[in-house]
């Protein structure tokens, strides 16, 4: 008898740290969280994608599915795929630099531009970048200004915060960065601190009266509210089972690097870690329900994640 799946399928992107040109630089995977099956839908080193000027070894990052279109961010380009993973369009902007995450809300995508400490808005109806929001530190606080990403010289490069995360809702645009130590809320009234968070986190977002995030420095998915604190460790593996350990000359590739997050149901999330693994976390139970490993290559790290809505 057919059994209704407990969990959906998800799309996950990965990047390969320390890879050389000619190596794989990660790609896109479809993962069946119910059966544990996975398939690689796209290899970033595919000959059909021009390597030069398209993120180079930074690979593919944030993912957002809007209707029949799948948007995937690279370093300085926003790709559009159909459900068969054929590139149907792509968009660039001079202020999109080292993009990490993207979020969708009310007819627009919001993309982090790490190289400009900015969030860019992409109008889905007109297929155009139409707003930039740049942040900087002023005295003891943080200031913001809006700029037109279609104008020349509208913003100067900046990496003070290493903005790498964005979440959008009716309460505004929320963003955070490796060097920020705060989840910021951007609204028409200005920018404010929504919550203090550890530095080095990823995927921070308001959630049920608190904050949910990947505490990457502590290899955990964390949710805390004024009266509750849940911390769930990501998977780790026997060192002897890891592949390419020690070959990354930059020293940044390690196991347990927690990044990537998408909501499956009220209190159940899928999250990523390295070597690329997709796990299911039950916040109500405070435990990791299951984990699906895609590779044991220590350089291969999970990044973006989104629910696959198609059959």
Mean of pLDDT over the chain: 90
How far apart (Å, rounded) are the C-alpha atoms in residues 15 and 28?
9
What's the confidence (pLDDT) of residue 47?
45
What's the confidence (pLDDT) of residue 3?
56
Q: Is the pLDDT of residue 23 over 60?
A: no
What's the confidence (pLDDT) of residue 188?
87
Q: Is the pLDDT of residue 2 over 50?
A: no
What's the confidence (pLDDT) of residue 5?
63
Q: What is the mean pLDDT of residues 255-266?
A: 95
Q: What is the mean pLDDT of residues 139-148?
A: 92
What's the confidence (pLDDT) of residue 51?
41
Q: Is the pLDDT of residue 24 over 60?
A: no
pLDDT-derived band of residue 52, with 50, 70 and 90 as boundaries?
A: very low
What's the confidence (pLDDT) of residue 57?
44
Question: Domains along the chain?
Answer: 9-307 (2.120.10.30)
pLDDT digits (tens, 9 = 90+) for 295-307: 999 988 999 999 9
Q: Is the pLDDT of residue 311 over 90?
A: no
Q: Is the pLDDT of residue 163 over 60?
A: yes
Q: What is the mean pLDDT of residues 257-285?
A: 96
Tokens of 145: 């200004």
Q: What is the DSSP letter of 49?
A: S
Q: Is the pLDDT of residue 48 over 80?
A: no
pLDDT-derived band of residue 115, with 50, 70 and 90 as boundaries?
A: very high
The sign of the CA dihedral 45, 128, 89, 29 is positive
DSSP codes of every residue in 204-238:
EEEETTEEEEEEGGGTEEEEEETTEEEEEEPP---
Q: pTM above 0.75?
A: yes
Evaluate whether 198 touches 205 at the Cβ level (below 8 Å). no
pLDDT-derived band of residue 42, with 50, 70 and 90 as boundaries?
A: confident
Q: Work out the number of other CB atoms within 10 angstroms of the CB of residue 187.
A: 11
What's the confidence (pLDDT) of residue 22?
46
What's the confidence (pLDDT) of residue 140?
82
Tokens of 87: 């590139």
- The contacts of residue 130 (CB under 8 Å, 6+ apart) are 121, 122, 123, 148, 149, 150
What's the confidence (pLDDT) of residue 54?
39
Evaluate whether 102 touches 110 at the Cβ level (below 8 Å). yes
Q: Is the pLDDT of residue 60 over 60?
A: yes
Percent of the chain residues topping a pLDDT of 70: 89
Evaluate whether 28 touches 41 at the Cβ level (below 8 Å). yes
pLDDT digits (tens, 9 = 90+) for 180-217: 999 999 998 899 999 999 999 999 999 999 999 999 99
pLDDT-derived band of residue 55, with 50, 70 and 90 as boundaries?
A: very low
pLDDT digits (tens, 9 = 90+) for 217-252: 999 999 999 999 999 999 999 999 998 877 666 667
pLDDT-derived band of residue 277, with 50, 70 and 90 as boundaries?
A: very high
Q: What is the mean pLDDT of residues 137-155?
A: 93
């Amino acid at each position: 008898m057919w059994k209704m799946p407990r969990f959906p399928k998800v799309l996950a992107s990965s990047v390969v740290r320390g890879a050389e040109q000619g190596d794989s630089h990660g790609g896109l995977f479809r993962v069946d969280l119910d059966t544990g099956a996975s398939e690689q839908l796209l290899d970033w080193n595919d000959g059909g994608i021009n390597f030069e000027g398209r993120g180079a070894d930074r690979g593919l990052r944030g993912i957002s599915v809007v209707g029949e279109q799948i948007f995937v961010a690279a370093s300085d380009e926003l790709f559009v795929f159909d459900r068969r993973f054929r590139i149907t369009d792509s968009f660039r902007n001079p202020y999109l630099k080292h993009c990490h995450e993207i979020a969708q809300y009310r007819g627009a995508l919001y993309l982090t531009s790490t190289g400009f400490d900015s969030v860019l808005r992409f109008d889905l109806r007109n297929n155009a970048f139409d707003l930039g929001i740049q942040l900087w530190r002023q005295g003891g606080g943080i200031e913001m200004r809006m700029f037109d990403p279609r104008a020349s010289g509208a913003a100067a490069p900046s990496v003070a915060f290493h903005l790498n995360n964005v979440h959008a809702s009716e309460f505004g645009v929320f963003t955070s960065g490796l060097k920020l130590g705060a989840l910021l809320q951007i609204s028409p009234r200005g920018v404010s601190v929504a919550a203090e968070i550890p530095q080095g986190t990823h995927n921070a977002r308001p959630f049920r009266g608190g904050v949910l995030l990947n505490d990457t420095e502590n290899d955990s998915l964390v949710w805390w509210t004024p009266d509750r604190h849940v911390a769930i460790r990501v998977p780790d593996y026997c060192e002897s089972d890891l592949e390419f350990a020690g070959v990354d000359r930059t020293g940044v590739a390690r196991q347990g690097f927690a990044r990537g997050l998408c909501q499956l149901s009220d209190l159940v999330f899928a999250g990523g870690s390295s070597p690329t693994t997709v796990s299911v976390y039950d916040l109500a139970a405070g435990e990791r329900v299951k984990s699906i490993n895609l590779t044991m290559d220590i350089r291969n790290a999970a990044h973006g994640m989104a629910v696959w809505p198609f059959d």
